[in-house]
Amino acid sequence: MSSVFDHGIASFAELRCRNGQIFYILGTIVFTFFIYLSISCCILTFQVANF
């Protein structure tokens, strides 16, 4: 998983160098969305485990 994540960061850095602000904003939105999903999954798992 970490290798895929590292590759994603490397690709993102390349895109950011090429196209600048647009890809930076898109990347930030996607990254925030993934963090939100992760937190939501953790909360759901925690709630299910409590039942």
CB 12 within 8 A of CB 23: yes
The pLDDT of residue 39: 93
The pLDDT of residue 30: 94
Using CA atoms, how far apart are residues 43 and 4, in angstroms rounded to an integer? 25
The pLDDT of residue 16: 59
Using CA atoms, how far apart are residues 4 and 47, in angstroms rounded to an integer? 29
The pLDDT of residue 49: 79
pTM: predicted TM-score of the whole model, two decimal places: 0.46
Using CA atoms, how far apart are residues 18 and 14, in angstroms rounded to an integer? 6
CA-to-CA separations, 18 to 4, 12, 34, 47, in angstroms, rounded: 21, 10, 24, 43
Domain limits for position 45? 2-50
Query: How confident is the prediction along the chain (51 residues), in pLDDT tens digits per residue?
Result: 567 667 777 776 776 566 677 778 888 999 999 999 999 988 888 888 776
Q: How many domains does the chain have?
A: 1
